[in-house]
Chain A
Amino acid sequence: MCQECGCGNGGGDVKIGAHAHEQEHHHSHEHGHSHHDHGHAHSHAHGIKTLDLNRSLMEKNTLLAERNRGFFRAKKLLVLNVVSSPGSGKTTFIRETAAKLTGKLRVGVIVGDLATDNDAARLRTAGIPVIQITTGTVCHLDADMVSKAAAQLALDKLDVLVIENVGNLVCPADYDLGEDLRVVLLSTTEGEDKPLKYPPMFHSANIAVITKNDIANAAGFNRDLALINLQRVSHHAKIFELSAKTGDGMKAWLDYLVQQTKSV
């Protein structure tokens, strides 16, 4: 549960304001019709009234995400939101992607984790510009966190911005960050039925990458079944199969990325 997340913080402030306001109204009510200084409140104080809102509860994040998208587009940046369960190989995948693009594309990374900056340190050691977001108890990144982190990167010197989301296949599915492409990883050490277990995330992805292909046999990975499941849930997604560690299958992914940067 992300009680401490971005929208929670805003709500917390409102709660205090709302409490004070409530007392204010009780006050005016007790004093009856004679006491009021704004007619509007008075006219509604006694009747029950229905207000039609019809607004999305994700509205705040969605607006911020669209703002991010416009900003990134103006900077001609290709932005990826990389999501997976913990331990699917996000950091290695991103590190190898950035390393192998050296000389072709400049890659910067925003990393989200509940605690530690170990992932950021691993990327920094590889010479990649990186900003760590430590979310505390929050189980996902939101558009506001990304906006603040991006401001700390020299974006004009980058072609690709990779956002490594918190390892979690549930909550990040609902939070648009302003990315161009959502990339979901499925490692060969996970169950082939992950896409069926977490359909919102896999359904929302533009790209699905099967990682750790080098140990697929040892892990008893049933490739055909995994592909059937992926195609069922992520039927519109482009699928890559690779091992970031050995480099096997990386070329197709890198060529695809280079191609994508030409259209931003």
Chain B
Amino acid sequence: MHEVSIMTEALRMAVDAAQADGAGRILKLRLRIGSLSGVVPESIRFAFDVVCHGTMAEGATLEIESVPAACWCATCAAEFECADFFSECPRCHNPSGELRRGRELEIAKVETS
């Protein structure tokens, strides 16, 4: 996967927001990553150190909030947690075609000073 580009973009957004707010440093970055986003947290952490080097986020802490995937079952009109893309509803056993959560790749918060 393209973890370095993803972290580069996360840093760009964080720096833009921090600078617009007049901050001098970024202390912490919080990302929200879905369990089916295809992004590997270990690679994200590695990429984070690489892209932050020499920027206002150098030495910052990275927090990763993982979002468990959930599918929508139209028959039961209810959500259920799923481990992959091809899950069936635990109640009615119909396959679900609608993933409601789990693909997130978001920047949630930035802590600055």
Interface residues of A (CB under 8 A from B): 1-3, 5-8, 10-12, 14-15, 17-19, 21-22, 25-26, 28-29, 38, 40-60, 139-140, 170-171, 173-174, 196, 199-200, 203, 232-233, 235-236
Partner of A14, one of B16, B105, B109: B16
- CB pair A21 B85 closer than 8 Å: no
- CB pair A50 B109 closer than 8 Å: yes
Interface residues of B (CB under 8 A from A): 1-6, 8-19, 21-25, 27, 31, 36, 38, 51, 54-57, 84-86, 95, 97, 99, 103-113
- Whether A53 contacts B8 in the complex (CB less than 8 A), given A200-B38, A232-B86, comes out as no
Enumerate chain A residues within 8 angstroms of B21, measured Cβ to Cβ: 40, 44, 49, 51
- CB pair B23 A44 closer than 8 Å: yes
A-B contact pairs, 5 of them (CB 8 A): A14-B16, A40-B22, A43-B22, A53-B108, A232-B86
Residue of A nearest to B31 (CB): A57
- Please count the residue pairs between chain A and chain B whose beta carbons lie under 8 angstroms apart in the complex: 161
Give the 4 A-B residue pairs with the shortest CB-CB distance, closest first.
A25-B24, A11-B8, A41-B22, A22-B56
Q: How far is the CB of B18 from chain A (nearest CB, A)?
A: 7
- CB pair A22 B55 closer than 8 Å: yes
Tell me, in angstroms, the Cα distance from A19 to B53 when the chains sit together. 10
- Whether A18 contacts B19 in the complex (CB less than 8 A), given A48-B27, A49-B111, A200-B36, comes out as yes
The secondary structure that dominates the A interface is helix
Tell me, in angstroms, the Cα distance from A3 to B31 when the chains sit together. 19
Residue of B nearest to A236 (CB): B97
Partner of B105, one of A46, A48, A56: A56
Tell me, in angstroms, the Cα distance from A196 to B2 when the chains sit together. 21
Q: How far is the CB of A116 from chain B (nearest CB, A)?
A: 22
Enumerate chain A residues within 8 angstroms of B56, measured Cβ to Cβ: 18-19, 21-22, 25
Residue of B nearest to A198 (CB): B38
Enumerate chain B residues within 8 angstroms of A235, measured Cβ to Cβ: 86, 95, 97
Enumerate chain A residues within 8 angstroms of B84, measured Cβ to Cβ: 199
Enumerate chain B residues within 8 angstroms of A57, measured Cβ to Cβ: 6, 9-10, 13, 31, 105-107
- CB pair A51 B9 closer than 8 Å: no
Q: How far is the CB of B66 from chain A (nearest CB, A)?
A: 15
Q: How far is the CB of A11 from chain B (nearest CB, A)?
A: 3
Residue of B nearest to A25 (CB): B24
- CB pair A49 B1 closer than 8 Å: no
Enumerate chain A residues within 8 angstroms of B86, measured Cβ to Cβ: 196, 199, 232-233, 235
- Whether A48 contacts B111 in the complex (CB less than 8 A), given A140-B2, A170-B1, comes out as yes
Enumerate chain B residues within 8 angstroms of A173, measured Cβ to Cβ: 38
Enumerate chain B residues within 8 angstroms of A5, measured Cβ to Cβ: 2, 5
Tell me, in angstroms, the Cα distance from A3 to B59 when the chains sit together. 21
Residue of B nearest to A29 (CB): B24
Tell me, in angstroms, the Cα distance from A259 to B113 when the chains sit together. 58
Q: How far is the CB of A2 from chain B (nearest CB, A)?
A: 4
Partner of B24, one of A17, A26, A56, A232: A26
